[in-house]
Amino acid sequence: MKESATEPTTPLTLAVIGTGPRGISVLERLAARLADGELGDRAVRIYAVDAVEVGAGRIWRTDQDDWFTMNTVVGQVTMYSGGPDGGPARPGAGPSLGEWIKERAERHGEPERGPDDYASRRRYGQYLRSVYASIVEHLPDSVELTEVPARVTALAPRPGGGYRLTLDRSPRVLEADKVLIATGHPRLAPDAFERRMLDFAGRHPGLHYLCGDSAADMPLDKDTIPPGSTVGIRGLGLSFYDVMLSLTVGRGGGFVRDGVGNGDGHEGGGGALRYVPSGLEPKIVTGSRSGLPIPARGRNQKRPDHTHRPLFLTGQAVAEARERRFLATGDHRLDFAEDVLPLLMREVEHVYRTTHERTTDKRTTHERTTDERTGAAADPLPPLDLRALARPFQGAWFESPDAFRARLLDLMRADLAEAARGNADGPLKAALDVLRDIRNVVREAVDYGGLRPDSHADDFSGGFLPVNSLLSAGPPAERVEQLVALIEAGVVEVAGPAADFDADEAAGRFTVSSPQVAGSARTATALVDARIPTPDLRRDTSPLTRSLLADGLVAEYVRTDPGTGVADPTGGLDVTRAPFHVVDARGTIRRDLYALGIPTEHTRWFTQVGSGKPGLNTLFRQDADAIAADMLRPGAPSPSAGRVAAAAGSPA
């Protein structure tokens, strides 16, 4: 592996491409380190470049509608690498989103939110902008930060090191010694199914097919989806709820809680939520593989700095499993189903059982001892089967849409009851929260080709991930409640499991149906993909990504099976371990080019993270700091052993 040299010019010039949460997190750590005097009075120039909104980014842009909400409670979200210290908010010491909202409410009378409430995405964007402003405000005199609202379309290495960036608008060209690619969520070229649907829509006036994206960026207007028309929506995950709200609340409808007057449906308690239509909604027909709308997150009962200390799926257990694999096979790569999943399930089941015991077993010690002697048990606990929870309709057949609807509403109401029990006291939601809490250990097992490629594809990506994302990533309970109300109002119909979306040439309409629900077939004039596209470098339409790949400045991360030699191109960008230097097409580590977050998905797992947690040194923060430290290290070598070793299948 060769090395590319960097001779920084004076001033040291850094460019951050993309100022969503990842780009801002690096800017924050750069600024904190510079304020600590890391480079003395050496002049530093930083360009913060974003095509949509510098300081917030596309997903969190501040001009989006208010009904798009975050799925993390405000008390658990921060962009500062340290908490407030009584001084002004500044890099290294600033408020969490919850604290910031509280302060704004007190000082400026802005709407309040408790630490366990959810904020709109727009609000988080405003918070990000305030973090960005505090970064700019507290830079040392020797540091200049320039905001560049433009799209980078190409990057060319300069002969003496560093890069020339081409922009789509003024100033057209920038020069930088070191560059960070933090370009976030991609827009992908349509796949074969999407091409067919787009072609079908193109041949039939009045039909529309919308590819998956952030709903705030989708044309969900009345021209595309007219009032009274039928729209098919593919997917019942988080984005489904965004599209659902755009087509209901966004059309002037509202939710009221029966028995408590004309609330807006945001207050807790009271009677059932009911939808009051505006008459401008379309009829929504939806479905997914499971047929189950993504379940709600448990009511938050945890402190912001809560961490789950794993007992079974620990870093050490993963390292030992690798060692055992190596002794048995000469290869450190793990089998997810054999080496990881059983530990993960023990972890989840342990929390399930102990939460149940803690919250239901109110017997005195004497009673418990007596019961144990006589064989009597506390409330029995149903077994926890993640697959059954995620696929509740597997093998089921429904004789009519009404029969399916009744079963679905039962399940959704049961889920709401579980969510109300909380994520600490409710055994089910507490157990499912473990799936979120142990992501870092799972990362240790799977990142950088840590699994055998066949196990990665079949057991991890094919088996575990769909179940994991359905059960661990849910929306606030309020969203599920709203969906129940919309189903009851007949505005939304869930077709059923194994939902099939297609185009009917004869009818000139899209079709939605479930093979497991008799009579579920419906036709629609618009079809919306409500799933966030999985990153894939090869289908990325970004001119920057395309030119980087074409020029060989970046390369796709390929997992190779050491036994068979079969190569598995992942669609992720090849980077070293922290500080995430890009590895180019010749295998050279480019020490002046970094990539963080979503472009590196598949090389690393679960990069779609948008914040740190107050009081914790999260991976999100560590990633940012590693890059910031390296960017400020003039010409010094940085470690490359991690990635090289990982590629050879040795331990992390």
- Does 29 engage in binding with ligand FAD (CB under 6 A)? no
What amino acid occupies position 90? R
- Applying the rule CB under 6 A, the residues between 390 and 409 that interact with ligand FAD are none
Residue selected from 544, 575, 593, 631 as contacting ligand FAD according to rule CB under 6 A = 544
Q: Report which DSSP code applies to 297.
A: P
User: Are the beta carbons of 432 and 298 closer than 8 angstroms?
Assistant: yes
Residue 374 makes CB contacts below 8 A (sequence gap 6+) with none
- For residue 104, what are its two tokens? 């704004």
Q: CB nearer to ligand FAD: give 22 or 456.
A: 22
8 A C-beta contact, residue 423 and residue 299: yes
- 204: closest CA among 590, 524, 604? 524
Q: Which of 33, 58, 479, 643 binds ligand FAD (CB under 6 A)?
A: 58
* Residue 67, both tokens: 């009904």
162-201 positions binding ligand FAD, by CB under 6 A:
182-185
Longest distance between any two alpha carbons in the chain, whole Å: 82
Window contacting ligand FAD (CB under 6 A); options: 55-63, 252-260, 432-440, 568-576: 55-63
* Only segment of 172-180, 399-407, 605-613, 640-648 that touches ligand FAD (CB under 6 A): 605-613
Which of 640, 637, 648, 578 minimizes the C-alpha distance to 26?
A: 578
Q: Is 527 among the residues that bind ligand FAD (CB under 6 A)? A: no
Nearer to ligand FAD, 135 or 384 (CB): 135
| Closest separation in Å from C-beta 155 to ligand FAD | 9
Contact window for ligand FAD (CB under 6 A) among 199-207, 281-289, 298-306, 606-614 = 606-614
**Contact (Cβ atoms closer than 8 angstroms) between residue 579 and residue 40:** no
What residue type is 350 in one-letter code? Answer: H
Q: Please work out the total of residues on this chain that contact ligand FAD, with binding judged by CB under 6 A.
A: 33
Window of 20-28, 31-39, 328-336, 378-386 that interacts with ligand FAD by CB under 6 A: 20-28
Rounded to a whole number of angstroms, the CA Rg of the chain reads 26
Q: Which of 8, 23, 401, 449 binds ligand FAD (CB under 6 A)?
A: 23
Question: Nearest distance from residue 633's CB to ligand FAD, in Å?
Answer: 23
Q: Which of 8, 16, 20, 292 binds ligand FAD (CB under 6 A)?
A: 20
The number of angstroms, rounded, from the C-alpha of 591 to the middle of its chain's C-alpha atoms is 28
Given candidates 292, 532, 582, 632, which one binds ligand FAD under the rule CB under 6 A? 532
Q: Work out the number of other CB atoms within 10 angstroms of the CB of residue 565.
A: 7
62 vs 359 by CB, closer to ligand FAD: 62
Q: Which window, 51-59, 335-343, 358-366, 488-496, contacts ligand FAD (CB under 6 A)?
A: 51-59
Angle at 582 between CA 576 and CA 586, to 5 degrees: 100
Establish if 628 lies at the interface with ligand FAD (CB under 6 A).
no
CB of 460: closest distance to ligand FAD in angstroms? 20
The burial of 399, by beta-carbon neighbours within 10 Å (0-12 exposed, 13-18 middle, 19 or more buried), is given as exposed
8 A C-beta contact, residue 527 and residue 284: no
Is the CB of residue 485 less than 8 Å from the CB of residue 255?
Answer: yes
Which candidate, 550, 501, 542, places its Cα nearest to that of 522? 501
604 binds ligand FAD (CB under 6 A): no
Smallest Cα–Cα separation from 52: which of 44, 43, 61?
A: 61
x-marked contacts with ligand FAD along 215-254 as a string, rule CB under 6 A: ------------------------x---------------
Q: Going residue by residue from 322 to 351, which x/- string records binding to ligand FAD, judged by CB under 6 A?
A: ------------------------------
Euclidean distance between CA atoms 627 and 601, whole angstroms: 17
- Distance set, CA 57 to CA 102, 122, 183, 211, 372 (Å): 23, 11, 9, 20, 58
- 70 lies in the binding site for ligand FAD (CB under 6 A): yes
Would you say 238 or 334 has its CB closer to ligand FAD?
Answer: 238
Measured distance CA(162)–CA(631) in Å, rounded: 12
616 touches ligand FAD by CB under 6 A = no
Angle, CA 283 vertex, CA 282 and CA 284 arms, to 5°: 105
Query: By rule CB under 6 A, what string of x and - marks binding of each residue 571-600 to ligand FAD?
Result: --------------------------xx--
57 sits near ligand FAD (criterion: CB under 6 A): yes
The answer to whether the CB of 200 falls within 8 A of the CB of 209 is yes
Pick from 474, 388, 484: which is nearest to 426 by CA?
A: 474
Residue 300 in the binding site for ligand FAD (CB under 6 A): no
Does position 612 interact with ligand FAD (CB under 6 A)? The reply is: no
CB atoms within 10 A of CB 516: 19
For residue 244 the two structure tokens come to: 């659902």
The interface with ligand FAD within residues 121-160 (CB under 6 A) comprises 151-152
Residue 52 in the binding site for ligand FAD (CB under 6 A): yes
Going by C-alpha positions, the residue among 181, 121, 188 that lies closest to residue 151 is 181
8 A C-beta contact, residue 406 and residue 484: no
Q: Does 472 bind ligand FAD (CB under 6 A)?
A: no
**What's the min distance (Å) between Cβ of 395 and ligand FAD?**
33
- Rounded CA-CA distance 136/153 in Å is 25
Site mask for ligand FAD (CB under 6 A), range 269-298, x = bound: ------------------------------
Nearest approach, Cβ of residue 622 and ligand FAD (Å):
15
Distance, C-alpha 543 to centroid of its chain: 24
| Nearest distance from C-beta of residue 78 to ligand FAD, angstroms | 11
- The smaller minimum CB distance to ligand FAD, of residues 549 and 644, is found at 549
31 near ligand FAD, judged by CB under 6 A: no
Minimum Å distance from CB 228 to ligand FAD? 27
Binding positions for ligand FAD, rule: CB under 6 A? 17-18, 20-23, 49-52, 57-59, 70-72, 151-152, 182-185, 214, 239, 532, 542, 544, 597-598, 608-611
